[in-house]
A and B are shown apart, each in its own frame.
Chain A
């Protein structure tokens, strides 16, 4: 599934690069680009995108004023050439804050911070997904297809029934990302999708025939969580 995106940006080169980054990511389809916030308002109300790339200082109303006027704001990534707006950005609960000009790597990091279910309130929990960077692209993984996640030092491996995906990240970061998605860290190197657990033995979980160690510190909590599933 592609995410729909809208760019509100008065600097043409900035919008051009951003559009290319979206295309290159393979997961964001740009619905439109608007040179000022007023021009974007009608479109955003009629066709709310999943994601809004929003400049702050523009002719006419600012990016923040645009957010104030939207009945339902999509997920927002602010794009600005100033850092002074960080506090305001925090208050508006934006997904990230990109300082122009930014590289593709920085763009990808930002997209990875998105809350994973577009328009969260409308999405059932089972539609939750995670995007991970694999070979320079973002790979979408549905929550239910991930069996477990394994640390490999500076890398993390996502195991699905079909394939294994390796991404440059830490298990700690991933643990934070999958919070609330029915995953649980059971060992310093393993996060398990509790829905995929077939068996619980002393100090081990069995997931599709694969044995996952459970550390002593996690055992009681694992038992509790599995009963609740």
Chain B
């Protein structure tokens, strides 16, 4: 079910940083829908690249790919996921043992996959809300 306030203001779902999203988009739900869409597409692409880089022996290359994923979760109000990505990026910056990096990447991948599901659902919710107001 969609959560709307009585004046039909869009309310982001539980688990998203509502206050931050409201400050980011200032009620512009069309922009929010668009940014969710482009962010989702870019995260999916970057994660595919990250998987390829994960097979290499160079954590720095993986770090560069992951670096671009990080703020995208911020644009979707998933700041805790952004923090998880930051931690992984830091690990890639200091860790030379790729076995440790790969293990951490598996954990990150699970977090990202779950976050992508939630973000896609929110984008759908935004889309329906915007269509209803059109």
Asked whether A109 is an interface residue with its Cβ less than 8 Å from the other chain, the reply is no
Q: Residue A57 at the B interface, CB < 8 A?
A: yes
- A side interface size, CB within 8 A: 16
Q: Taking the complex as formed, is B34 at the interface, i.e. its CB lies under 8 A from any CB of chain A?
A: yes
A-B interface pairs (CB < 8 A), number: 46
Q: Does A13 contact B (CB under 8 A)?
A: yes
Closest to B32 in A: A17
Which partner residue on chain A sits nearest B41 by CB separation? A12
When chains A and B are docked, how far (Å) is the Cα of A17 from the Cα of B35?
8
Interface size class of B (residues with CB under 8 A): 10 to 19
* B9 within 8 A of partner (CB): no
Contact assessment for B67 and A17 in the assembled complex, using a CB-CB cutoff below 8 Å: no
B80 within 8 A of A: no
Question: A12 touches which one: B20, B38, B74 (CB < 8 A)?
Answer: B38
Contact of B74 among A10, A16, A82, A100 (CB under 8 A): A100
Contacts of A82 in B (CB 8 A): 67
CB closest chain-A residue, reference B35: A13
Segment 11-61 of B: residues with Cβ below 8 Å from A: 20, 23-24, 26, 28, 31, 34-35, 38-39, 42
- Checking A16, A104, A105 against B34 with a beta-carbon cut-off of 8 angstroms, the contacting residue is A16
Which one of A17, A57, A101 has the greatest number of beta carbons of chain B within 10 Å? A101
- Nearest to A84 among chain B residues (CB) is B93
Q: Are B24 and A101 in contact (CB under 8 A)?
A: yes
Flag whether A20 is at the interface (Cβ < 8 A). Answer: yes
Q: Give Cα A10 to B42, complex, Å.
A: 11
The answer to whether the Cβ of B75 comes within 8 Å of any Cβ in the partner chain is yes
Q: Does A11 contact B (CB under 8 A)?
A: yes
Task: Indicate whether B68 reaches chain A with its CB closer than 8 angstroms.
Answer: yes
The CA of A104 and the CA of B75, in the complex, are separated in Å by 13
7 contacts between A and B (CB under 8 A): A10-B68, A13-B35, A13-B38, A16-B38, A17-B31, A20-B31, A101-B71
Q: What residues of chain B have their CB less than 8 Å away from a CB belonging to chain A?
A: 20, 23-24, 26, 28, 31, 34-35, 38-39, 42, 64, 67-68, 70-72, 74-75
Q: A10-B68, A17-B31, A103-B24 given. 7 additional CB < 8 A pairs?
A: A11-B68, A13-B38, A16-B38, A81-B71, A101-B71, A101-B75, A104-B24
> Across chains A and B, which 9 residue pairs bring their CB atoms closest together, nearest first?
A101-B74, A103-B23, A100-B71, A81-B71, A13-B38, A13-B39, A13-B35, A13-B75, A101-B75
